[in-house]
Amino acid sequence: MTVIENSRLAIIGAGAVGSSLAYAALIRGSAREVVLYDIDAARADAEVLDLAHGTPFTGASRITGGGDLDAIEGASMVVITAGAKQKPGQSRLDLAATNVGILRELMPRLVERAPNAVHLLVTNPCDVLAVAAQRFSGLDPSRVFSSGTVLDSSRLRWRLAERLGVSPTSVHAMIVGEHGDSEFALWSQSRIGPVPVREWVDARGDRIEEAELEQLAEEVKNAAYAIIAGKGATNYAIGLSGARIVEAVLRDEKAVLPVSSVLQGYHGVDGVALSVPSVVDSSGIARVIDVPFSEGEQRAFERSAEAVRRTIGTLRL
């Protein structure tokens, strides 16, 4: 895969998620240069040094950074992972007030140093923070969006592939809506190869039943809670999914990904960021795709919008 010449990826936050994303980006060759910044300069310096020692095995990519925000100057893309992390039993929306406060101060400083960059929010609650970051930055919503349900959709594809005995690359399914407790699987548009998921016949000659589809979607929704309970954070898969979004931008791919951006008149939703299939390229979000919803999916989408809207309403944005 080709990396755009002189592309610079800036990652804000050198914690578990930020360092995992930097690691994934280096291995995958997502950018020509990765810049890792953290307010904790000693942590950032240590992570950069550790990662740099492995770059002889990663090809042309290099890593720099530290505790000086000026290091991100001229970045092609900025990924924000900084913020309070989700604790066991805590919902993503519970994190909102703390992380909005961080963004209020951070966004103008990022835009000042990287005015032409596309900005990606990974910090949770990412839908609420996408709205906040867009308002604090003053940038077009197409250039400030969140990772949304890209990871959730990967979890769904993996789980379906395990259940049905096919490769995840042959599973075309997405989670949409809030990246959180009101998210839902877009079953009406899901396929195994060219076959609608509800019509797929497995090796035993059986079709997957509706109750099992609901169970699989519930497993995906709660996957992060199970991981956090066991190890304190999710980091590897979100690092990989973040790197995948970075590549769609820096390689001008026009890839269709369920990222979360501030919507205008999408299935009746305005001013709220939710994940829907979107075309991602060097401009950021080139187009939000108008996907047909079933009646049940439309109701679920409206519930997702209301969940995010309620949280936004409690904050001073």
Q: Which residues are catalytic?
A: 179
Query: Is residue 102 a contact partner of residue 34, using CB atoms and an 8 Å limit?
Result: no
Tell how strand 269-275 and strand 260-266 pair up. Answer: antiparallel
Question: 102: Cβ–Cβ under 8 A, 6 or more apart, which residues?
Answer: 82, 83, 84, 123
Within its chain, how far is the Cα of 2 from the centroid? Answer: 22
State the CB neighbour count (10 A cutoff) for residue 3.
Answer: 19
Token code pair at residue 277: 């299939």
Give CA–CA dist 296/47, Å, rounded. Answer: 46
Full strand arrangement of the beta sheet holding 269-275: 62-66, 33-37, 8-12, 77-80, 118-121, 144-146, 260-266, 269-275
